[in-house]
Structure 1
Amino acid sequence: MNFLKNLFSGAGAPQEDVLYVYVQPKMCKEVVKVRIDMKNQLSREDDDSGYFVRKTARGQRCPFAAEMLLRFDGNRRLIEQIIENGTFVTEAEYRALYGDEDDA
């Protein structure tokens, strides 16, 4: 069964090219693991000072979405996180809720 999962999920990006952000949309108990591809999903700031990405996260059992804006410096290091209609959750809090299951 893992063969089929691996076949259809693709190889994916190496871990250093991926950032995971954990978000709990407002009025939801569910925490969503959001994957950001650091090579392909970041957009350049207009003034060339760094990068940014906008993401929307919605849980499977919750109709409400959280909107995120993440800003990065020129070396693609996270420098600012802004969220509307939700809260950021740490990886440790996410793992405490869901264990080590990988649902991304």
Structure 2
Amino acid sequence: MRTALVIALAATALPASAIAAEPAKPVATAPAAKAKYTTADTDIGTLLDDPAAKAIIDKYIPGMTSNEQIEMARSMTLKAVQAYAPDDVTDERLAKIDAEFASLK
């Protein structure tokens, strides 16, 4: 009974806004949207099977997707292929491809 009386007295001493105010809740931030494809993680076979991704590769590395040997590279990534064709698959081209991949839904 005494505890209830102390709480009641304390509540009357506080301004009404302090009693009614809810504590601030932390705002949950959504994780950054992950790109559908990346040149470092997505295998070439997956990219070739998506017409939009294939078009992006053709834009920056012309002739790559129509090369007769491309089927042998289906399990590799574009980043891995860079070791075999550094003049065609440059860091600059991979960055541009990744930027366009990020816009794919």
Q: Shorter-normalised TM-score: what interval? A: under 0.3
Which structure is richer in relative contact order (CA contacts within 8 A, separation 6 or more)?
2
TM-score between the two structures when normalised by the length of structure 2: 0.23
Structure (1 or 2) with the greater strand fraction: 1
Structure (1 or 2) with the greater helix fraction: 2
Q: Greater Rg, structure 1 or structure 2? A: 2
